[in-house]
Amino acid sequence: MKVFLARNSDEVGSEDCTSIQPFDLNHFFGEDGKIYGYKNLKINVWISAISFHGYADISFDETSDGGKGITDLNTVLQSIFGESLVEKEEFMQTFSKECEYIRDVVTNGSAIKHNGTNESDPAVEIVRVELQGVAAFLYSRLVPLVLLLVEGSTPIDIGEHGWEMLLVVKRTTQESVSKFQLLGFAAVHNFYHYPESNRLRISQILVLPPHQGEGHGLRLLEAINSIAQSENIYDVTIEDPSDYLQYVRSSIDCLRLLTLDPIKPALSAMVSSLKETNLSKRTCSLKMVPPADLTETVRQKLKINKKQFLRCWEILIYLSLDSEDRKSMDNFRACIYDRTKGEILGGATGTNGKRLVQMSSSVNEEVSFAVYWTQEGGDADDQTVEQQPEDLKTQEQQLNELVDNQMEEIVGVAKNVSSRGKDKLADLAAL
């Protein structure tokens, strides 16, 4: 199945149309991810970039039941595209009949002003809308793109109170009429935090394929941070972010943290410890944990939650170290190792009965694992788990693979922060 995004009726069936590359379609087609009963089957799905209706062009030479039945294509397509899938004639008419669709949604919203790092195009703006009425209908039409392009995604419950969308739109003027083109969106949920505040959770962020790589995801994150600060939200969280979204988010937050005055002295103390301590002969771990009062200050001023701040804290420490200083780098990695081991096995000085075992996986067998542990209570003989030398060797290897992956992520974000914030990093050179 091929999926295309068409900006006008002329692009339907044209090679100039933008092709969408879904991450994985197999899980839509039964347990084994296959289509049965068709010879020379072709499925082309066209999605309107104006109204986000869809049309499926299906062709095949013949059908035959080879013992596994004939796949019901309509059921499969309905599970992806729902009611937005229409017949060709109606689909072609949407380009003219619903040309003001996005403008109608934007009219009910409010523009978000923020101090962004990527504001080169004045025609691009971010509009905030409550997820109800016409905006709710728009989201329902965007769900197929979310399912196709965001791995592991599920539609949000738009009937639940507190949902909003931030739309990245580009204003164009044609025949003296203002029109809006949708470039991307974020779905966010404002929910209660005890005792008297709200948290902001980012559920989905999607930039449409023709406009990916243009900085619109960055715009959305910056706008959300601006909302959180201006409305004194408790903090901002993201629901199951992709690796790339986490990369962008951490890059932004590191640059924001560098503007906070209390960061430098706290980093200086941590960097000094890494430079002076010899962790290769350690009997206990050195934890790269920021002061509790700094964690709270970061939450209050920047609305960065604790888990995200700890992630950025390690990146800022790495940026403050001399990459040519082998001792400091070894100490830094040792801290990442101890932290990872503690998170998975319960501490660097003991496993509390936990064991790390390799598991088979269709995704990535080399880095797939599971943790299990014995329960407290019962006879001691029943609760004892003796780890064999081979088990310990495998566990050590898997832990090191996890640490290597985390080091790659830290270095990747650090390079991006360095390229974007050279002026902000100047003060760290003296640490």
Backbone angles phi, psi at 175, to 5 degrees: 55, 45
Structure tokens at 61: 């030479």
Q: Among candidates 299, 331, 332, which has minimal Cα distance to 316?
A: 332
Q: In the annotation, is 89 catalytic?
A: no
Amino acid 171: pLDDT: 87
Residue with tokens 């080169």: 120
Amino acid 280: pLDDT: 65
Amino acid 278: pLDDT: 75
Q: Among candidates 262, 259, 214, which has minimal Cα distance to 421?
A: 259
pTM for this one?
0.84
- Pairing mode of beta strands 42-48, 2-6: parallel
Write the CB contacts of 147 (distance below 8 Å, at least 6 apart in sequence).
80, 153, 155
Q: Hey, what amino acid is at 324?
A: E
Choose the catalytic residue: 239, 296, 396, 408. Answer: 239
Q: Which residues pair with 193 in a beta bridge?
A: 197
Amino acid 15: pLDDT: 74
Secondary structure, 3-state, the chain: CEEEEECCHHHCCCCCCEEECCCCCHHHCCCCCCCCCEECCEEEEEEECCCCCEEEEEECCEECCCCCCCCCHHHHHHHHHHHHECCHHHHHHHHHHCCCHHHHHHHCCEECCCCCCCCCCCCEEEEEEECCCHHHHHHHHHHHHHHHHCCCCCCCCCCCCCEEEEEEEEEEEECCEEEEEEEEEEEEEEEEECCCEEEEEEEEEEECHHHCCCCHHHHHHHHHHHHHHHCCCCCEEECCCCHHHHHHHHHHHHHHHCCCCCHHHHHHHHHHHHHHCCHHHCCCCCCCCCCHHHHHHHHHHHCECHHHHHHHHHHHHHHHCCCCCHHHHHHHHHHHHHHHHHHHHCCCCCCCCEEEEECCCCCCHHHCEEEEECCCCCCHHHHCCCCCHHHHHHHHHHHHHHHHHHHHHHHHHHHHHHHHCHHHHHHHHHC
Note down pLDDT in tens along the chain; length 431 residues. 889 999 889 999 887 788 988 777 777 877 777 888 999 999 999 999 999 999 999 999 999 887 888 889 988 899 899 999 999 999 999 998 998 899 999 998 999 987 665 566 788 999 999 999 999 999 999 999 999 998 878 899 988 999 999 999 998 876 645 589 999 999 999 999 999 899 999 999 999 998 998 999 999 999 999 999 999 999 999 999 989 999 999 999 999 999 999 999 999 999 998 888 776 666 566 789 999 999 999 999 999 999 999 999 999 999 999 989 898 999 999 999 999 988 887 754 444 455 555 555 555 555 555 655 545 444 444 444 555 667 777 888 999 999 999 999 999 999 999 988 766 655 555 44
Amino acid 413: pLDDT: 97
Query: Domains of the chain by range and CATH?
Result: 2-97 (3.90.360.10), 101-240 (3.40.630.30), 256-430 (no CATH)
What distances in angstroms separate CA 254 from CA 150, 240, 343, one per listed residue? 25, 20, 23
